[in-house]
Amino acid sequence: MGRGLACAAIVVGACSRPTAEPVEVTYPHDVVVSFALRAIDPTVLDAALAESPPAFDYGANAGNHAKPAQRAAAWFVLVVDAAQGDLAHRDEVLARAHALLAPGSEPTCNGGLDERGENAALSGLAVLATTDLWTMLSADDRARADAVLRACFVAAAVVSNDAGDLRTGLDGTGNFRKT
């Protein structure tokens, strides 16, 4: 029911044409929000398709490298487009999800600021899980995606916890010391 919300709320500047029908989303406690979705601009889709699949490595501070983050953002645009019902690039979305989840290419889950370059990939996996495309992924890819999302959420919680004073990302890089 919440398909397309990501485009309305997250992909700033990528949406250009409003759809004809407003979408209504019901949240917990019966809060209803209605908004008109916008289709993703074709030039943005073309740029996203021109990028390679997202892949991360385990080098120090890997989640911050610009090129993997750019590729993850491009994949996220394609996922959001598919989540809004445009299946023209379905096979590309699935192929890039598979490539992202290949051993050694998945997000590094360092947590905190070290994870900021990976957030588009993680958001893409989370949005993908709400679509019909999720079941088109292999069982192994779905399990890997679930494990990656859980690991990154835990890492972010550990590194960003106000009660803690972790001095680095989980890879030992960065200066996160709070005191």
Rounded to whole angstroms, how far apart are CA atoms 79 and 131?
A: 9
Asked if residue 147 is part of any domain, the answer here is: yes
**Cα atoms in the 13 Å half-sphere on the side-chain side of 34:** 2
1 in a structural domain? no
Task: Evaluate whether residue 32 is within a structural domain.
Answer: no
Pairing of strands 15-27, 31-40: antiparallel
Question: What pLDDT does 95 receive?
Answer: 96
| Residue 175 counted as domain residue | no
Q: What is the dihedral of CA 34, 36, 39, 41, to 10 degrees?
A: -120
* Structural domain for 103, as ranges: 41-160
Q: Is residue 36 part of a domain?
A: no
pLDDT score recorded for residue 175: 63
Residue 93: the pLDDT is 95
Q: Measure the CA–CA gap between 101 and 55, rounded to whole angstroms.
A: 8
Residue 152: per-residue pLDDT: 87
95 belongs to a structural domain: yes
Residue at 35 is within a domain: no
Q: What per-residue confidence (pLDDT) applies to 59? A: 63
Q: Does 54 map to a domain?
A: yes
The pTM assigned to this predicted structure is 0.74
Q: What is the mean pLDDT of each run of 10 residues along the chain (179 residues)?
A: 35 41 58 64 93 79 68 91 88 95 88 74 90 94 94 82 69 65
For the chain, the domain total comes to: 1
- The pLDDT value recorded for residue 9 is 35
